[in-house]
Structure 1
Amino acid sequence: MVTGAGQGIGEATAQRLASEGSHVLCLDLDQKVEALADAIGPDAFAVVGDVADESVLRSAVQHAEHRWGRIDILVNNAGIDGTPALLADGEKRDFDRVIDVNLRACWSAMKLVLPGMVAGGGGAIVNVASVAALVGFESLSIYAASKAAVLGMTRSAALEYGCHNVRVNALCPGGVLTPLALSFMDEVTMAAWADKHALKRFAEPREIAATVAFLASDDASFITGTAIPVDGGMTAH
């Protein structure tokens, strides 16, 4: 199950997992996620809905469990930046929405899939956080707080469910060439952000998806409770 699968990291992740033989439930607020599932083929299906609505997540999980028995891999990728603002200028409605999508939906999805993973003998959860959870970013305090909270929840869940062979990890992408990023950055801003990375460029969504696939695979069978920066060296400063 991949949330936020309609574009960017989520789309690339759904495609990568499907290419490695997974059945994939693609969940997104945008109806174009249906085209993604159609392109992947019969091993995928789409659910259109808001991850902040727990009933949408519950319905998606039930659908997947009815169709395939259980969910072995959960990728909590859906997220929003919110409206950039200095902390004192932030709006409560923006705070609530960012927390609902970035944190509460992540918690709800984990809560819904964990019983099946425990009953089935294990599973892997990958939560997509951000380098903003590791270092400060001006005008993104709400977003940074939501992603830092995801890291804390990831570590706690790893401790709670490791005895059931459920691994819970996070990754912290730096700048990624997603449609969202391209929509609000001009060339000058893009160049300035690229320069913050040791590799002097943004990641392609497929590069983030490769790390997700690794953490979800048996190759990462002894990795849990960690947060991997996939940031082109941004946090090496």
Structure 2
Amino acid sequence: MGRLKDKVAIVTGAGSGIGAATARRFHEEGAKVVLADVSGAQEVLAKELGEGALSVDTDVTKSESVQAMIAAAVETFGRLDVLYNNAGIDGELHPVAEMPEEAWDQVQAINLRGVFLGIRYAIPEMLKTGGGSIINTASMAATVAFPSMSSYCAAKGGVIMLTKTAAAEYAAQGIRVNAISPGTIQTAITTHLPADMINAIIERNPVGRIADASEVASLAVFLASDESAFITGADHLIDGGYTLL
């Protein structure tokens, strides 16, 4: 406990799944936490966590909303040390030649543009206090293809390269940028996927199961903490070995 003492962190997509599990862990580890989401579900968790937790309604696809989120963190807690760009959706499932353009654009807007906006507006605040840690949720779908998920795979691949580029640009100024690439995690997203797809993933996975969101949260705590001070620009797979085969 106390690994994030005195740090101020923002978690997007904090209303459920990995975001909610991470917000809870950050708070347990001593951070002041801004829980950002568009669903409103983050308000319940913020009230449960109590002091040191702030709920902010945020649409990560909109510049003004992301800027307001960061301003709320700084105005309420005085600084920004950690940003976890986690908000994301799976989107509609279609072969590439049948993918509706609006469905493609929606996934890109949330899963990739949302990460860009978070990085874009968090870095100036982090520079004011000597640096910080930015964590971006990518996916094992950036490493291996999943048919009918072309927009999701493309966006997550973009997240990894955006992570590496930002890390290279700001490492000398004390800002670390890393990605987490989860495998199949028990979240709201997986409940929307076909059961045969989930079962096929489990059968192929060397560990033989899907993960709990708390397992990803543990990795996020490490990347947010000073324990990972020499790690930047890295993509951290947490997939039970799925991409090994």
For Structure 1 versus Structure 2, the TM-score category normalised by the shorter chain is over 0.9
Q: Equivalent residue for 2:170? A: 161
Of 184, 187, 190, the residue aligned with 1:175 is 184
How big is each residue's C-alpha offset from its partner over 1:78-115, in whole Å with a ceiling of 9 and x where there is no partner? 00111011000001101111111011111111111101
Could you list the runs of 5+ residues in structure 1 that have no partner in the other structure? none
Q: State the Cα distance separating 1:189 from its structure 2 match.
A: 4.3
Of 92, 107, 110, the residue aligned with 2:119 is 110
Q: How does 1:1-237 map to 2 (within 5 A)?
A: 1-186=10-195, 188-237=196-245
Paired residue secondary structure (1:195)? helix
Is contact 2:58-2:69 (8 Å) kept?
A: no
Distance (Å, rounded) in 1 between the aligned partners of 2:65 and 2:56: 8
Distance (Å, rounded) in 1 between the aligned partners of 2:39 and 2:57: 6
Inter-CA distance 83–183: structure 2 relative to 1 (3 Å threshold): closer
Distance (Å, rounded) in 2 between the aligned partners of 1:196 and 1:122: 40
Distance (Å, rounded) in 2 between the aligned partners of 1:44 and 1:196: 39
Distance (Å, rounded) in 2 between the aligned partners of 1:127 and 1:36: 21
How big is each residue's C-alpha offset from its partner over 1:158-200, in whole Å with a ceiling of 9 and x where there is no partner? 01000111100001100001123124443x5433221121101
Distance (Å, rounded) in 1 between the aligned partners of 2:36 and 2:88: 12
Q: Equivalent residue for 2:6? A: none
Paired residue secondary structure (1:192)? helix
How big is each residue's C-alpha offset from its partner over 1:60-85, in whole Å with a ceiling of 9 and x where there is no partner? 11111111122100000000111011
Distance (Å, rounded) in 1 between the aligned partners of 2:81 and 2:191: 33
Give the structure-1-normalised TM-score: 0.97
- For 2:127, give the aligned amino acid: V
Q: State the Cα distance separating 1:227 from its structure 2 match.
A: 0.1
How many residues end up aligned between the 2 structures? 236
Distance (Å, rounded) in 1 between the aligned partners of 2:122 and 2:58: 17
Paired residue secondary structure (1:30)? coil
- For 1:79, give the aligned amino acid: G
How big is each residue's C-alpha offset from its partner over 1:193-223, in whole Å with a ceiling of 9 and x where there is no partner? 2112110100000001111111111111100
Paired residue secondary structure (1:156)? helix
Distance (Å, rounded) in 2 between the aligned partners of 1:191 and 1:94: 25
Paired residue secondary structure (2:204)? coil
> What's the % identity of the aligned pairs?
39
Distance (Å, rounded) in 2 between the aligned partners of 1:36 and 1:196: 35
Distance (Å, rounded) in 2 between the aligned partners of 1:183 and 1:142: 16
Distance (Å, rounded) in 1 between the aligned partners of 2:23 and 2:130: 23
Distance (Å, rounded) in 2 between the aligned partners of 1:5 and 1:92: 28
Distance (Å, rounded) in 1 between the aligned partners of 2:194 and 2:227: 36
Distance (Å, rounded) in 1 between the aligned partners of 2:141 and 2:156: 7
Q: State the Cα distance separating 1:59 from its structure 2 match.
A: 0.8
Q: State the Cα distance separating 1:155 from its structure 2 match.
A: 0.3
- For 2:70, give the aligned amino acid: V
